[in-house]
Structure 1
Amino acid sequence: MNKAKIGAKTEAEVTDYFPEPPLAFEEGYTFLSLFDADENSIYRKTNLYYPFTSQKEWEMAAWLLRSGLSMGKIDSFLSLEMINDLPLSFHSAKELRGRAETLPGGPRWKSQVIRTSHSTKTPVVLYWQDPLDCIASIFNHPLFHNRLDLTSRKVYPTAQRLSRVYTEWMTGEHAWNMQSALPCGATLLVLKFVHKKKWMRGVLQDWLVHQCLDVVLEPLKSAARQGVMLSDPIGRSHYCFTPLASYIADTLEAMMLACVGGKMSPVTMAMYKQFRDAFRHEPRTKSTTLAQLDVVRSRADPHNLEAFFCESQKFCLNGVEKPFWSDWPLAKPSNFFTPESLHHLHKQFYDHDTQWITVAVGDSELDFQFSVLQPTTGYRHFHGGILKLKQVTGRCHRDIQRSIIALSADAMSPGVMVAIRALMHFRYLVQSLHINDNDLARISAALDEFHANKHEIITAGVCQGKGSTPINNWHIPKLELMQSIIPSISNSGVIGQWFDLATGLLDGKLSIEDLEVVREDHDNDLDDVDVDADIVLVEFPSKTRQPGQLHPVMDYFQIAKELLHKEVGSIPVPLRSFVVGCTALHILYDPSIRSIKVDEAATMFNLPDLRPALTDFLHREVTSGCCVHAIGGPRRAGPNAELPFDKLQVWFKICLQETDFHHAHNIHPAQTLNCAPPSGLWTLGHYDTVIIQTNAEHSWPTSGLSGHCIAQIRLLIWPIGQCGKLWPWEDQFIVYVQRFDISSECDPNTQLHVLKRSKRSNGTQMGDIIPVKNLAAIRP
């Protein structure tokens, strides 16, 4: 895929901010002023850890409070003889809890008994924290200083303003329209809610959910109607309003919250028989649903549950008498049910596309194809296939999507492949974090292409239910919801902003165990990346937190910048970390092989032309001095050519780190590129593919594959020069790579390029030596 054509961000972007921006007033409060206003602040002037006696006691108390131990087990721990010898100011769990309660607190927990129209075995008690207090705490927290986006705006790619650009929610139409509806100078706060998957089903349970939400969210509704004064981190006061911007929920929960029946769309007026339509139906507006409920109330008493439910069904409603959003200003279900990638893209892919492909290709064949793929560091490898996975997360879905089209291309009919590939292309495009109107047209075209070919899936009989029963309909709610993604992007910004690890955890799609798996995978990657790098990392502990990452990301861009300012002789050269364009490269301090003769390396890595390739490279460096080398051309040097060096240092790994395509300040985690000789299970060696720059006038990723080629890295070396002999070329790391030829045209069905190993006229593989700095990006 040519990345340069997907919502490319240019420096010529023009932004029109809302003409009456939010105003900030004096006489607010800061986080520190609240801390100092605590009744015990006088004691903290002499003891920062009051009500605990010291830092050590606080560390003990904090560990116990966060350990999850019961009060009884804490008492048992504190009663140990060794613990009794410690000079603690508390000796029981009750005393510990009492001291903790005197610490400056955040939003308090509340409780309320929910009255129900029908009797229950036990009282229904609702526990919650005031959401307005939570927002005030976040809005005032010093960590968020200059990090809150409070100004609605319209972004254009050029000064002509012929097309819009959509990123965050504040760049969409809804933010502009909501700001227009507020008083001059008011601050618009973006509220995002995540609905945890509920296991309740039935009319009374739906009533209860809406009733509880009505209680919990009432402070936000009041603030949306009248506004509220909140202080920012530096003590300025803002006149804030809290309309509902986004409510993340899976399809069934969205239907319940929208108060529609189980066979209706929560955001449009479409019913299940219309889910197959290739156009978006009329939006389900707030006024429409409330008008229908008024009619139902006029025909049946809400307390007569059976009669009220029967009347509600005539309008395809679920029987809830008062939706929680009914009295929330500017809240419309068709607007605030924003799509996000986990439910509406990845889950839909795994539930439907994967099953179609499985039927078309065959269970064992599809699993076999995945099992023989070469593992790539940083991506999951499916040793046993994909059909018996027990724990499938969004990350797993994405890793399957990277390969499944190419693996199944030869086993499906052209029509089925076109339909599934178009749907995959749609998912890929909508996940961009920077989308303009031209991109929306491409997204729409991809969805139209699927609908134009979806009949092939039914005709081929690959759409099956339980017991391999053929399915001849398109009663798929998430398929209909895809029609709402394009208007959602233009109204509320890109869908990527609505999903992160926290969303998956709260919504039941990720568990604590999932996070441990991700953490373990990440730690394993760090082990691959940072081994033997202590000489650099100790001096430059450059780690940065990035959106959506559990751990700080090692910033090799910053490390490379710092190395450039070190004194000559204080660090090893060539530099182990350096930046070329938008890519940072990092090589471990210690080589995998400290010294090996050239001919021995050629034998170990099965590179018979290594010596002539090195000779030709040195010749090009001396004669042309070009920094970018093409791969190919006749081999000029002979097999016994002389070199100004006899030995090499060899590395088996190199790390490449890229910045985000649309936001250059966001740094992706480094990826490991392997080039190890045959050993153990890797009987033919472990060699990864990489994108290489071959033309100095083109750069990655803005030029896409223009001026670049794809090659397999076979050897990473640094020649060890002979004593007393001067070199007429730059001292640098170099690599031996073998090139792939890329087909000039994409396959008409898969829209993928076909790669073939490039061969010389004598039948040997086309390989050459190039500088490491020509490596642009790693691709699995």
Structure 2
Amino acid sequence: MSNFQCPSCGKAGFRDQVAVARHMSQPRSGCSTWLQDLIRLWDLSDDSMNTDDLDEPNIPGGGSQAEVEFTFRDRDESFEGSGESGGQASEEGLLLNGASDFVDRYPESSRTYGMGYTFLDLFNSDENSVYRAKNPYYPFSGRKDWEIASWLLRSGLSMGKIDSFLSLDIIKGLPISFSSAKELRGRAEMLPSGPRWMSQVLSTSHPTKSPIILYWRDPLDYFTPHRVYTTAQRLCRVYSEWMTGDDAWNMQSALPKGATLLGTILSSDKTNISTMMGDRVAHPLLVSLANINMSTRLKTLSNSFVLTALLPVPKFIHKNKRMRGVLEDRLIHECLDIVLRLLKQAACEGVMLSDPVGHSRYCFTPLLAVVQTRADPNDIEAFFREAQKFRLNGVSKPFWQDWTLGEPSHFLTPEFLHLIHREFYDHDVKWMICAVRDMEIDFWFSVLQPVTGFRHFYGGISKLKQVTGRTQCDIQRSIVAVSADAAPSAVITAVRALMEFRYLIQSPRIDEDDIKRISGALDEFHANKHAITAGGFRRGNKNKVIDNWYIPKLELMQSIVPSIRNTGVAMQWTADTTEHAHITEIKDPARSSNNNNYDPQICQHLDRVDKCRRFDLAMSLVDGMASSRLQDDNIGDDVDFDADDDDDLPTEFTATIKCPGHSRPITNYFAIAKILQHKEVGTVPLPLRTFVIGRTAYHLTYSPSIRSISINDAAIKFGLPDLRLAIADFLRHEATHGQNYVHTIGGARRAGPTASLPFDKIQIWFKLHLQDTEFHDSSIIRPAQTLNCVLPSDVWNSGRYDSAIVNNELGCLWPAHGLRGMLQPSIMLNTFSLLSFRSHNWSN
């Protein structure tokens, strides 16, 4: 058998390079995307996406139908990235994502230095790998035995409940390799391990109520910059990922040629382990990589943030409460210095690490800065008094003091959850409640139309308790409109300016024009904020009027624009993901403990879960490669490699889908519509249920909500007396102006009351799925949204329904013209068998 192999999915056994190229050009193959990206990198060009072309739309995920013959270079060169071509890319610019963005890539960055180790290499290097040669699922008897064990280990059941489950007669009859929870956990300990936990007892200069123990694992065990412009002339800079900021470029300039820059992200915050059970508090330290795509890193199920340490929560014995806080801060920095020592060493000297495909890279992990003090740090009280003059917390040796290439004003980035959303609820909302009055603003919020997917405040907002970030965002959507005309205009202007500021900085892509608008919105607030204090709307405790603007969060907003220039968009530094990680990394493991001595039990639980996750992934890869080899053994000379194979996906892709907690890919209705468009007549049912118009894909269920109803009955049922006239006008415009005519909504009906139609019955859907692309990157498909409507009833005379923004003018297109030429009609009746399929035979 031939040994030609696909460089993307690893499938082997192809006859020649042409067979590999045909395999990679399959329309629904994940390898086609890899090939297209590789060709785009070498040719320094890219095909733009144009979903507005109705005749032959370039649909994301549709793939290429043409045969591609390609001579594959050495894999080391393929993944080298820049190399010699990097200089050319830096000089000439590279078109990005098929849009009008041009990229300056740093020359000679991120080279490879031979082969390193892949995930499976490390997995097979443990002491039990010899037993897995015959039984891949060792120490379990097989796949079914492992599935039961994995479920029990992840279930959160106590050992007593697991023993109770295993003692059932029906379970005893199963051929499983363990009979007790203790034996199950013993077998789990035999699984290949990831980064190992370590502990260290710390000595302190002041006494504490209990010994201080630090638990941590090496963060290095878990783990190319460019600048983007909107034109080739580099007139308008674009900021998005961390790699597009100035810091990444400047750091790469300070590294040796060919070095790989790994941006380290640290997150730390205390969290309550349990409720109503005393002061059980944990202090986790999470680590992630800025090199991970922002959209992936911010997903809660991506496991992009990993717990690397459980910092101690000490209780110092000191008569001064403020000094106890200073001692705790110093201890935390001392612990961080221990945990991050190897990362700082890698930032200074570099370290050889393997990338996901097994190539060795010379990596640097920068962060850092130096803080100088003027008092004796050993005299805590005197040092703290001196530090307070400069608004410092009294820490004499911050952990970043010897971290190469770091600057606190740069890496201490603005955080959205507290700086933006919390500031809004603590201040803006309070101003508006005072300006409008609590009963008035509560009433207007209570009578707003409920919208699917958003919270409705039936009792108003003035008495809310335990407000989350999601609730704060829901209030932001309505508060300006609700308060308009009820508060002084200057107050509304100031609050609206801050709202526009928040909206703009949440964009995943910001250019120089956006930065001007962001700065202008903040300046507009400061120009009108005097109206808030003049009206007595800024108040503190006991409703006392405050006539100053000493608000630290408001002051920190001025650092957001410099932070965007240095480290990319601020949205990527939100704490939403890390706050959710507290649940999976701290609270869930704590619930499976015996409620005593939490830290070591949390480490043991996470170690077992990590072993299970790694074993699941490894077995998925092994099974996938085994099934791939079995299929290749059955390949004959008469196999058509151009066939449309739904299962032709990379092994790594299907393996990660099978892993617990990994969501399946988003359904791509654009690709489905393109496939249906090219099917032979008679092979798919008409009218089509999935189709694309402009940048929006529409999908209907196969069966309508009302299969058949007369037009007159539908007009009565939905309260639409001019339904027949509207349909007649629609058909007349279709016949006169053709399919590309944009039908206006509203206005006088031209058809008469006796207008005849070529049909008597219509079909009606109550649900419609809409899918579009990302506003800033049209190659990214967004999850489909569902519009619903409900028939009129006694409670809702006009029915209940969602709303949609509809284009009503031919010369106005979204997003180029904003909301100009748009209407917001109610989605009440969807006769898509009429409105969407203009070539359909109406009489049928």
Smaller-chain TM-score bracket: 0.7 to 0.9
Aligned to 2:179: 91
Q: How does 1:193-208 map to 2 (within 5 A)?
A: 193-197=266-270, 202-208=325-331
1:156 aligns with 2:269: no
- Please state if 1:31 is matched with 2:154: no
| Contact 2:715 2:721 (8 Å CA) reproduced | yes
1:570 CA drift (Å): 4.1
SS of the residue 2:340 aligns to: helix
2:839 counterpart residue number: 730
1:605 aligns with 2:728: no
Which residue in the other structure is 1:436 paired with? 511
1:426–1:443 Cα contact (<8 Å) kept = yes
Partner of 2:105: 17
Deviates most, 56-65 or 229-238: 56-65
Cα 1:340–1:559, aligned 2, differ >3 Å: closer, same or farther?
farther
CA drift at 1:720: 8.7
Q: Which SS does the other structure have where 1:26 is aligned?
A: strand
Stretch of structure 1 that moved more, 407-416 or 331-340 = 331-340
Aligned position for 1:259: none
Question: In the alignment, is the contact (CA less than 8 A) between 2:690 and 2:697 conserved in 1?
Answer: yes
Counterpart amino acid of 2:343? Answer: L
Is the alpha carbon distance of 1:414 and 1:231 closer, same or farther for their aligned partners in structure 2, counting shifts above 3 Å? same
**Corresponding position: 1:50 with 2:138:** yes
CA contact under 8 A between 1:90 and 1:96: conserved in structure 2? yes
Q: Which residue of 2 aligns with 1:69?
A: 157
Structure-2 residue corresponding to 1:479:
554
Once the two structures are superposed, residues 690-729 of structure 1 have per-residue CA deviations (whole angstroms, 9 ceiling, x without a partner) of 22223445432233234443333332115699xxxxx995
Conserved 8 A contact 1:675-1:716: no
1:172 and 2:248 correspond = no
Q: Which residue of 240, 251, 257 maps to 1:184?
A: 257
Q: Secondary structure of the residue that 1:25 maps to in structure 2?
A: strand
Distance, in Å, in 2 between the alignment partners of 1:459 and 1:205 is 42
1:87-236 → structure 2 map (5 Å cutoff): 87-135=175-223, 151-197=224-270, 202-236=325-359
Contact 1:197 1:507 in 2 (8 A): no
CA distance in 2, matches of 1:352, 1:159: 43
2:708 matched to 1:595?
yes
AA matched with 1:296: A
The structure-2 alpha-carbon separation of the partners of 1:59 and 1:118, relative to structure 1 and needing over 3 Å to count, comes to same
Distance 2:429 2:112 in 1: 52
* Secondary structure of the corresponding residue to residue 689 of structure 1: coil
> Secondary structure at 1:674's aligned position in 2?
strand
Task: Please give the secondary structure, in 1, of the residue aligned with 2:375.
Answer: helix
Q: How does 1:185-334 map to 2 (within 5 A)?
A: 185-197=258-270, 202-244=325-367, 286-287=369-370, 290-291=371-372, 293=373, 295-297=374-376, 302-334=377-409
The equivalent residue for 2:770 is: 656
Change (3 A) 1:37 1:707: same
- Would the alpha carbon gap of residues 559 and 394 (structure 1) be closer, same or farther in structure 2, given more than 3 Å must change? farther
2:738 maps to amino acid: G
Q: Find the residue that maps to 1:620 and give its secondary structure.
A: helix
Q: Which has the higher contact order (CA 8 A, sep 6+)?
A: 2
CA apart distance, 1:429: 0.8
Instruction: Note closer, same or farther for the CA distance 1:68–1:607 as it changes in structure 2 (3 Å cut).
Output: closer
Moved more, 194-203 or 55-64: 194-203
Structure 1 residues 350 and 541 mapped into 2: Cα distance closer, same or farther (>3 Å)? farther
2:787 to 673, 679, 698: 673
Matched-pair contact (CA < 8 Å) for 1:622–1:729: no
Which segment drifts farther, 327-336 or 79-88? 79-88
8 A Cα contact 2:252 2:261, kept in partner: yes
| Partner in structure 2 of residue 756 of structure 1 | none
Asked whether the 8 Å contact 1:378–1:671 carries over to 2, the reply is no
The worse-fitting range, judged by mean Cα deviation, of 84-93 and 227-236 is 84-93
Q: Distance in 1 between matches of 2:540 and 2:831?
A: 55
Q: What is the one-letter code of the residue matched to 2:148?
A: M
1:714 maps onto 2:828 in alignment:
yes
2:415/2:575 contact within 8 Å kept: no
Alignment-mate amino acid for residue 340 of structure 2: L
The residue matched to 2:688 in structure 1 has which SS?
Answer: coil
Q: 1:490 aligns with which of 554, 565, 579?
A: 565
Cα deviation for residue 10 of structure 1 reads 8.1
Q: How does 1:342-421 map to 2 (within 5 A)?
A: 342-421=417-496
Aligned to 2:89: none
TM-score, normalized by length of structure 2? 0.70
What residue number does 1:575 align with?
A: 688
Unaligned runs of 5+ in 1: 1-7, 136-150, 246-285, 514-538, 722-726, 734-780
Contact 1:612 1:637 in 2 (8 A): yes
Instruction: List per-residue Cα deviations over 1:341-390 (Å, max 9, x = no partner).
Output: 22221121112111111111222222222222222222222233233444
1:528 maps to what in 2?
A: none
Tell me the secondary structure at the aligned position of residue 406 of structure 2. Answer: coil
SS at 1:716's partner residue?
coil
Q: 1:121 to 1:399 in 2, by over 3 A?
A: closer
Asked if 1 retains the 8 angstrom alpha-carbon contact of 2:442 and 2:460, the reply is: yes
- Partner residue of 1:459 out of 511, 534, 556: 534
CA distance in 2, matches of 1:638, 1:47: 79
* 1:91 CA displacement: 3.3
Change beyond 3 A, Cα 1:719–1:319: closer
List alignment gaps of at least 5 residues for structure 2.
1-95, 272-280, 282-312, 314-323, 589-645
Aligned match for 1:340, one of 411, 415, 435? 415
Q: Go from structure 1 to structure 2 and tell me whether the alpha carbon gap of 1:638 and 1:511 turns closer, same or farther (over 3 Å shift).
A: farther
Shift of 1:632: 4.6
Q: State the match for 1:637 in structure 2.
A: 751
- The code of the aligned residue for 1:216 comes to V
Contact 2:454/2:474, CA 8 A, preserved across alignment: yes
- Correspondence for 2:815 among 682, 701, 714: 701
Letter in 1 for 2:245: G
Offset of residue 100 of structure 1: 1.5
Deviation string 1:401-437 (CA, Å, 9 cap, x unpaired) is 1111111102110110000000001111111111111
Equivalent pair of 1:648/1:718 in contact (CA under 8 Å):
no
The 1-side partners of 2:138 and 2:584 are apart by: 41
Matched, 1:624 2:737: yes
CA distance in 1, matches of 2:775, 2:795: 36
Alignment match, 2:592: none
The count of aligned residue pairs is 632
Mapped contact 2:100–2:230 kept (Cα < 8 A): yes
Farther off after superposition, 166-175 or 386-395:
386-395
- For 2:440 and 2:583, the matched residues in 1 are separated by 32
1:207–1:320 contact (8 Å) kept in structure 2: yes
Query: CA 1:729/1:425 → structure 2, altered by over 3 Å: closer, same or farther?
Result: closer
| 1:389 to 1:732, Cα distance in 2 relative to 1, 3 A | farther
Relative to structure 1, is the Cα distance of residues 10 and 486 closer, same or farther in structure 2, using a 3 angstrom cutoff?
Answer: farther
TM-score normalised by length of structure 1: 0.75
Question: What amino acid does structure 2 have at the position aligned with 1:465?
Answer: G
Letter in 2 for 1:336: F
Q: 2:122 is aligned with what amino acid? A: L
* Distance in 2 of aligned mates of 1:654 and 1:510: 38
Distance 1:128 1:396 in 2: 35
Confirm whether residue 558 of structure 1 aligns to residue 671 of structure 2: yes
Query: What does 1:497-508 align with in structure 2 at a 5 Å threshold?
Result: 497-499=572-574, 501-506=576-581
